[in-house]
Chain A
Amino acid sequence: MYAFTYHRPKSVADAVALQGRFEDPKLLGGGQTLLPTLKQRLARPSDLIDLGQIPELQGIREEAGGLTVGAFTRHAQVAHSDVVQRVIPALASLAEGIGDRQVRNMGTLGGSICNADPSADYPAAVVALKATVRTDRREIAGDDFFTGMFETALEPGEIVTAVHFQTPDKAAYAKFRNPASRYAIVGVFVAVFGSEVRVAVTGAGPSVFRADDMEATLAQDFRADALNGASVSADGLNADIHASADYRAHLVRVMARRAVEACG
């Protein structure tokens, strides 16, 4: 790890102001990606701005037909929240399946979506649950937030403060985890809002995406077996030593089926 200066602001305004003062600052959420990156000397920020002591970034509350989750909410807090378990149980279950216990006790919602790892779980929920990402300066629709591999619509210095998830009629997340890292090789989040069905896929491609064909099929016939004929193209999907693009394409269908089954 290279040396850096550590800051712990008490408000979003202070964090924004701090960022403006330094040459190459970096925001620190739960640190589950950033700290290993620093330890391996793959990043060299001049300053680390720890967002962990900012009350505005904390908390889970029911609001406007959904749930608002503060950006600094840790995965374990989402997983164990009575409110989340009652309002959007699929979201609690997704959080319970992230990484391992240590990761869940440290990692945060905001950190996860800002990093936009193609194998992260939360992006699938943000897209499928028609979320709105709130920042220090605006609101961004969940559909527009993830723009590519490790890329988001955030402007330089923009700080995510909370994510508002809409409450679906029913929803479920089915994940095929990487046995080593326990990231998603493929994760499929299915959510039903009235006649609309959303199928968001993470892990398979460079960034989370919606499976349009499956959405259309399920909107007509919301049964797992309705997906039997669905084929997912392997074109453009990720491939690595753990899973080829073909295998990922296959898993998208299998996980989508399982998510639909889990919707009940």
Chain B
Amino acid sequence: MANPTGIGASVRRREDARFLTGRGTYTDDINRPGQTHAVFVRSPYAHARITGIDAAEAMQAPGVIAVLTGADMETDKVGSLPCGWQIHSKDGSPMKEPPHFPIARDRARYVGDAVAVVIAETREQAKDAAELVMVDYEELPAAVTSLKALEGGAPLVHDDIGGNLCFDWHLGDAAAVDAAFAQAAHVAKLDLVNQRLVPNAMEPRAALGEYDRATGEHTLTTTSQNPHVIRLLMGAFVLGIPEHKLRVVAPDVGGGFGSKIFHYGEEAVVTWAAKKVGRPVKWTAERSESFLTDAHGRDHVSHAELAMDKDGNFLALRVATIANMGAYLSTFAPSIPTYLYATLLAGQYKTPAIYAEVKAVFTNTVPVDAYRGAGRPEACYLIERLVEVAAAETGIDKAELRRRNFVPASAMPYQTPVALQYDTGDFAKNLDIALPLVDYDGFAARKAESARRGKLRGIGFATYIEACGIAPSNVAGALGARAGLYESAEVRFHPTGSVTVFTGSHSHGQGHETTFAQLVSERFGVPIENVEIVHGDTSKIPFGMGTYGSRSLAVGGSAIVKAMDKVERKAKKIAAHMLEAAEADIEVKDGRFVVAGTDKALTIGDIALQAYVPHNFPLDELEPGLDEQAFYDPKNFTYPNGCHVCEVEIDPDTGVVQVASFAAVDDFGRVINPLIVEGQVHGGLVQGIGQALYENCVYDEESGQLLTGSYMDYCMPRADDVPSFTVRYHEDQPCTHNPLGVKGCGEAGTIGASAAVMNAVVHALSEYGVTHLDMPATPERVWQAIRRHTPAQAAE
């Protein structure tokens, strides 16, 4: 009988009982004796010189303990928040890397930039006093959009960075692309914007700093996806605290979507201030503060051209993208529009030549960094919109055009012209599953039925591939990463056979406590209840890199497998000793250690007990204990891929777009827990639909004020906005280079969905001659597009 809690079982998430009954422990739930509260004074201007800060009145306010500024941090030699990835421009020069202090010193560079911090006995007292801190600002003109920031004469975000240009980078073979375009029978062109988004994790960011005078140890509890990364960056670069005296804990974390990868200034401030005031210091963002200060996502402006021969075979792709970095470089910002974007521009197609140029630009807006998908949704959106334009212009059916250009499964492993080597994938198979699933042939009838009700109907595809399982450290290092990207694990058997797994991955909604436990249950036949997953505390777990880029199972899970391999080797030795057999004769069958060809067998529990009660161990050959640690560094990225198909219905009177149906066929390699995978896909799809139809982060182009700073104006997708999804996956193409054969599923939905929705929207509007619409396809945008393309209306 299959193990009911092993690999492939839809085990319900063990952590949910805690989360759904309010028993989770989030950073803001933790309160320490003597704790104080920090509230930040933030710049109301997008760009201003700070000419003076008068805290005298605030210091007199009830409960105030300290008012600290950038000058105080400078006195204490607090450093700049480091950037974790270095890009070099075309000319070989390194990217411009301006200092990014936790509290601004003489200039505020976006609305919400921290200017001072008030520490008081209560949060309300700190808020009251923050209003009394008198900051003299000399307002400066702001460069708000990336396009305007690049214009000659634009205000400079940093005085010494001319043209606001962070880097001007490229990838691919420009000459080969030019040559292919010269031979092209048809060229499809498209200008498109991938709009800026606010991540909106359910739990706002929070940080609690503590300092123990007795031991000299600092503790930071924070809403992080990767506590070791924060410990390294903050300890080594910002505060100068050695790692053995700095503990970083990321307890239950309520969603991240990338926005909690980065090292934020508030983390350094509370850690530093806790020592300064001699008491714990807690800060929790309010929702408005989250809108203003969490690193945003996307914000690309692109031009793309696709060259084809007369049969619609893709010959070359040329892309120029302008990426908004915001006011400073967030931790991984430079990697997003480069190595996580341009490298994915081949998509699922065998386009032989690709050339991409990316200009990264500083603006007076909050920094932009990884957001679910991080570069890959931008790549997918660009390619898949362009392919749809190409299909419309050439008159080739859009499914057929894709099929004609797919990298065939027989070509795997496939080296793309943009650095990556796909290991596995059968893209035609995804499409073959999807077409009958959505009744592609019946679309015309459904469209006619919609038309009878006065509605427009469109169908759109997105065939995506992403690079996950980030990342082989040698490759990442060669491309500019200033960190390794392996993962750690420790598998510790206890004397009575229960297990604690320490993982460097971090769960903030992904269900690791269930999926990882299934790996152990499968391998050793241990019931899942006897397996505890520990993560998120640098004092407990080995040095780990955390969770982002759909890497937890592919990299973190592989580390657990590697540690279990070591446990098994040790257990075999112990079993051989216990059963008086040769080690080579011990086999593992259904989680039992058996002497080959006999009925002599032990469970892992028997072995674990003996490991810790080694009364007659041959100690020269066998150490006591059953506790093994491993680090796993992947050999390649993993390449989840799939085919998403969306159908929309549009009300031409109002412009309202309704997602009528959505089907996702995905190849995630091997699936450990189908229930969790399906949940991840659902969430991802909603997020992708959110970008396509609802979400839009808008700054006033002159003043740099955030116009969508609350849910009154920033539209999040809700349950009643989306249909029931049809989700399928196949496991025929497991990853070839990790022990589980897994590829990752966390971002896939988001990557495919936006393109599929927009392709469907444009298809529905094609009868009006609309060929493109930028996201989000809000009712007014759709209505205006219809109006622009309706002759009678245009004449008005």
Interface positions of A (Cβ within 8 A of B): 1-3, 40-41, 176, 179-181, 183, 241-244, 247, 250-251, 254
Find A241's partner among B127, B128, B708, B783 (CB 8 Å cutoff).
B708
Chain A residues closer than 8 Å to B714, beta-carbon distance: 180
Contact A179 B653 (CB under 8 A): no
| Docked CA distance A179–B778 (Å) | 9
Contact B713 A181 (CB under 8 A): yes
Chain A residues closer than 8 Å to B440, beta-carbon distance: none
| Docked CA distance A38–B715 (Å) | 23
Distance from B737 Cβ to chain A, minimum over Cβ atoms (Å): 44
Contact A179 B708 (CB under 8 A): no
Find A242's partner among B128, B653, B713, B716 (CB 8 Å cutoff).
B713
Contact B707 A241 (CB under 8 A): yes
Chain B residues closer than 8 Å to A179, beta-carbon distance: 694, 715, 721, 778-779
| Docked CA distance A241–B712 (Å) | 11
Find B778's partner among A1, A183, A242 (CB 8 Å cutoff).
A242
* 7 closest A-B pairs by CB: A180-B715, A181-B712, A247-B780, A254-B653, A179-B715, A243-B780, A180-B713
B496 within 8 A of A: no
B754-796 vs A: 1/0 string, CB under 8 Å? 0000000000000000000000001110011000000000000
28 contacts between A and B (CB under 8 A): A1-B124, A2-B128, A3-B124, A40-B288, A41-B127, A176-B779, A179-B694, A179-B779, A180-B694, A180-B711, A180-B712, A180-B713, A180-B716, A181-B712, A181-B713, A241-B707, A241-B713, A242-B713, A242-B778, A242-B780, A243-B779, A243-B780, A244-B780, A247-B783, A247-B784, A250-B783, A251-B654, A254-B654
Q: Given A179-B721, A247-B783, 6 other A-B contacts at CB below 8 A?
A: A179-B694, A179-B778, A180-B716, A181-B713, A243-B779, A254-B654
B581 within 8 A of A: no
B433 within 8 A of A: no
| Docked CA distance A179–B713 (Å) | 9
Q: Say whether chain A's binding surface is mostly helix, strand, loop, or mixed.
A: loop
Chain A residues closer than 8 Å to B698, beta-carbon distance: 241
Distance from A177 Cβ to chain B, minimum over Cβ atoms (Å): 10
Chain A residues closer than 8 Å to B127, beta-carbon distance: 41
Most buried by A among B124, B707, B711, B783: B783
| Docked CA distance A180–B776 (Å) | 13
| Docked CA distance A183–B711 (Å) | 12
| Docked CA distance A1–B131 (Å) | 12
Most buried by B among A181, A183, A244: A181
For chain B, the count of residues having a C-beta within 8 Å of the partner chain is 23
| Docked CA distance A254–B654 (Å) | 8
Distance from A67 Cβ to chain B, minimum over Cβ atoms (Å): 29
Restricting to B736-755, which residues have a CB under 8 Å from any CB of A?
Answer: none
Residue of A nearest to B708 (CB): A241
Restricting to B663-717, which residues have a CB under 8 Å from any CB of A?
Answer: 694, 698, 707-708, 711-716
Residue of B nearest to A1 (CB): B124
Chain A residues closer than 8 Å to B128, beta-carbon distance: 2
| Docked CA distance A135–B6 (Å) | 68
Contact A176 B654 (CB under 8 A): yes
| Docked CA distance A251–B784 (Å) | 12
| Docked CA distance A242–B707 (Å) | 11
| Docked CA distance A2–B780 (Å) | 39
Residue of B nearest to A240 (CB): B713
Residue of A nearest to B128 (CB): A2
Chain B residues closer than 8 Å to A180, beta-carbon distance: 694, 711-716
| Docked CA distance A222–B480 (Å) | 70
Distance from A219 Cβ to chain B, minimum over Cβ atoms (Å): 24
Distance from A245 Cβ to chain B, minimum over Cβ atoms (Å): 11
Contact B711 A181 (CB under 8 A): yes
Restricting to B126-144, which residues have a CB under 8 Å from any CB of A?
Answer: 127-128, 131
Chain B residues closer than 8 Å to A250, beta-carbon distance: 783
Chain B residues closer than 8 Å to A1, beta-carbon distance: 124
Residue of A nearest to B712 (CB): A181
Residue of A nearest to B780 (CB): A247
Chain A residues closer than 8 Å to B783, beta-carbon distance: 247, 250
Distance from A225 Cβ to chain B, minimum over Cβ atoms (Å): 13
Residue of A nearest to B696 (CB): A241
| Docked CA distance A171–B692 (Å) | 36
Chain B residues closer than 8 Å to A2, beta-carbon distance: 128
| Docked CA distance A244–B787 (Å) | 14
Chain A residues closer than 8 Å to B288, beta-carbon distance: 40
Chain B residues closer than 8 Å to A244, beta-carbon distance: 780
| Docked CA distance A176–B124 (Å) | 39
| Docked CA distance A62–B714 (Å) | 41
Residue of A nearest to B793 (CB): A250
Chain B residues closer than 8 Å to A3, beta-carbon distance: 124
Residue of B nearest to A186 (CB): B654
Distance from A258 Cβ to chain B, minimum over Cβ atoms (Å): 9
Distance from A239 Cβ to chain B, minimum over Cβ atoms (Å): 10
Chain A residues closer than 8 Å to B124, beta-carbon distance: 1, 3
Residue of B nearest to A39 (CB): B286
Chain B residues closer than 8 Å to A183, beta-carbon distance: 712
Chain A residues closer than 8 Å to B784, beta-carbon distance: 247
B142-173 vs A: 1/0 string, CB under 8 Å? 00000000000000000000000000000000
Residue of A nearest to B720 (CB): A100
Chain A residues closer than 8 Å to B713, beta-carbon distance: 180-181, 241-242
Distance from B121 Cβ to chain A, minimum over Cβ atoms (Å): 15
